[in-house]
């Protein structure tokens, strides 16, 4: 294919923008996994002939398309719940998407073009594209507290090759998918396939086959009889949730939805289901706990928690408490920017209502907190956004019988956000070989098996209770034991050992 056909001007930039948006169709709710594969192939072709400076802008356009389409739900949070006007919400959403593109996709594109500038070998063009992409995804899990959304591997969750997830985690699936895209791009680019391309394609096919075989291996096994769980979805309107005049109505709805389910071993209320500080609700919590003990039930609920730090400082946490047959509190570690804390708050507080959302001044919980207990079993507690962090969940999941996540996806409205969030939670179940139970305010409340398959779910935006049976599991997957590090080190070493850098370059 002629060099200039992928290089020229605004047409190529527009194609890059569209290619980034195309990839979003591979994630929930559409789940069309070939689209990220095709998108990766187009990006490979669009970057191949460029200088580092040109690639920087091409990557920015691609990233803007990816995040503009894939995180469009940010607009709902800012406009509908942050009280920003349509123009202001649009500008803030655009700035967020542009920032993500500049922070992560543009540097990937620049580094890739720079690598090819130093070494034009075909194997480096292919391997470098894969390794740098996965490293860019990984950097999104920690840089500036992290935003590991739209990782390519999620698109392969419901395919036969998802068997790699318990071994390599979602980043391994990302590597497999983007490698397929690079190989497809190289097949399109070349007039006559080379030996490197043919061998690479055969190797990719072997990895695909390996994923199918790994999917047949049981990494974990039930350690006890099934537990009966009841997940409560109250569907409290976000505008009323933190209104203290509505508190009694909120509690009555939770109690009414739970009334027929005290025979369950575990009842779960969603994130901040009780919208009042734990110490102020102590008499009410003691009543709940006493009732749960009388029915031999564990009740887990989200609730904001106050702690006094050394030096007398007050700290407020997005928390979980376990009552009745359960025990323990958990304080959320990974906070959502602007939703739970405001960066540069001395400058931003008071500018617009979005920077003063209710409960947007939470502190970050400490690492290595003990797990929650429900009867004789250990629960790995994850609040909302935390379930999208693969290594955080692996660290907890290795010690747990069951994964538990609570959320309030009301902030996303009727957008693609809740579906993407559930897809990521399902991947955590598969990576760790554990059942995952998920209680949300208005959806998607669901139960997931250790293979990442949905066992049951409630309709969005409707109050209800979801009953299911889950098994405590024993036995760890390779990923829950080691996390992402082995894959990242392997990819980086493979690139370094394959790259014959020129002296003086």
What is the Cα–Cα distance from 386 to 380, expressed in whole angstroms? 11
| Side-chain-side CA neighbours of residue 368 (13 Å) | 0
**Residue appearing with tokens 């760790």:** 432
Q: Is 405 helix (H, G, I), strand (E, B) or coil?
A: strand
Q: What's phi and psi for 473, nearest 5 deg? A: -120, 150
Which residues is 163 bridged to in the sheet?
A: none
CB-facing half-sphere around the CA of 78: CA atoms within 13 A: 21
Nearest to 191 by CA among 329, 1, 25: 1
Cis preceding-peptide flag for 444 (omega within 30 of 0):
yes
Q: Using CA atoms, how far apart are residues 392 and 390, in angstroms rounded to an integer?
A: 6
Quote the CA–CA distance of 274 and 346 in Å, as a whole number: 29
Element housing 305 (H / E): strand 298-308
Q: Is 43 helix (H, G, I), strand (E, B) or coil?
A: helix
Site of tokens 């998108």 = 39
Tokens representing residue 300 in the block = 């887990």
> 3-class secondary structure for 443-493?
CCCEEECCCCCEEEECCCCCCEEEEEEECCEECCCHHHHHCCHHHHHHHHH
Of 96, 58, 57, nearest to 74 (Cα)? Answer: 96
Q: Distance (Å, rounded) from C-alpha 395 to C-alpha 484? A: 11
Beta strands at 377-383 and 446-448: parallel, antiparallel or unpaired? unpaired
Give the C-alpha separation, 140 to 154, whole Å: 15
Q: Which regions of 22-76 does DSSP assign to beta strands (E)?
A: none
Q: What are the start-end ranges of the H helices in 149-193?
A: 165-168, 170-189
The set of catalytic residues is 271, 332, 384
């Amino acid at each position: 294919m002629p060099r200039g056909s992928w290089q020229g001007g605004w047409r190529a930039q527009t194609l890059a923008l569209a290619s980034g948006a195309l990839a979003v169709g591979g994630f929930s709710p559409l789940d069309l996994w070939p689209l990220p594969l095709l998108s990766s192939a187009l990006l490979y072709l669009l970057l191949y002939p460029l200088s580092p400076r040109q690639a920087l802008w091409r990557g920015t356009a691609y990233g803007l398309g990816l995040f503009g389409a894939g995180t469009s739900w940010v607009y709902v949070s800012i406009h509908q719940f942050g009280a920003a006007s349509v123009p202001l919400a649009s500008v803030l959403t655009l700035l967020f998407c542009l920032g993500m593109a500049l922070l992560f996709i543009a540097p990937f594109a620049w580094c890739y073009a720079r690598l090819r500038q130093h070494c034009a070998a075909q194997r480096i063009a292919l391997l470098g594209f894969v390794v740098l992409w996965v490293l860019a995804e990984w950097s999104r899990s920690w840089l500036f507290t992290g935003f590991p959304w739209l990782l390519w591997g999620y698109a392969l969750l419901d395919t036969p090759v998802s068997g790699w997830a318990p071994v390599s985690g979602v980043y391994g699936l990302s590597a497999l998918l983007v490698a397929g895209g690079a190989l497809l791009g190289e097949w399109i680019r070349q007039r006559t396939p080379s030996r490197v391309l043919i061998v690479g394609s055969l190797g990719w096919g072997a990895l695909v086959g390996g994923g199918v075989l790994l999917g047949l291996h049981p990494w974990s096994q039930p350690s006890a009889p099934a537990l009966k769980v009841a997940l409560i979805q109250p569907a409290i309107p976000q505008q009323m949730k933190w209104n203290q005049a509505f508190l009694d109505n909120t509690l009555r709805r939770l109690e009414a939805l739970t009334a027929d389910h005290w025979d369950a071993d575990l009842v779960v209320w969603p994130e901040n289901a009780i919208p009042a500080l734990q110490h102020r609700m102590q008499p009410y919590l003691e009543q709940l706990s006493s009732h749960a003990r009388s029915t031999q039930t564990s009740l887990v609920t989200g609730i904001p928690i106050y702690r006094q730090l050394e030096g007398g400082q007050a700290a407020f946490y997005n928390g979980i408490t376990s009552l009745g047959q359960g025990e323990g509190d958990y304080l959320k570690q990974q906070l959502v920017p602007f939703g739970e804390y405001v960066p540069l708050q001395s400058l931003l507080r008071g500018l617009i209502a979005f920077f003063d959302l209710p409960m947007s001044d939470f502190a970050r919980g400490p690492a290595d907190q003990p797990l929650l207990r429900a009867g004789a079993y250990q629960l790995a507690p994850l609040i909302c956004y935390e379930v999208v962090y693969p290594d955080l969940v692996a660290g907890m999941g290795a010690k747990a019988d069951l994964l538990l996540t609570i959320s309030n996806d009301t902030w996303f409205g009727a957008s693609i956000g809740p579906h993407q969030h559930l897809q990521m939670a399902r991947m955590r179940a598969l990576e760790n070989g554990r059942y995952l139970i998920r209680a949300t305010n208005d959806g998607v409340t669901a139960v997931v098996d250790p293979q990442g398959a949905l066992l049951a779910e409630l309709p969005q935006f409707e109050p209800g209770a979801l009953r299911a049976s889950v098994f405590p599991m024993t036995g760890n997957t390779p990923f829950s034991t080691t996390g992402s590090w082995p894959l990242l080190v392997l990819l980086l070493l493979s690139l370094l050992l394959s790259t014959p850098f020129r002296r003086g370059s």
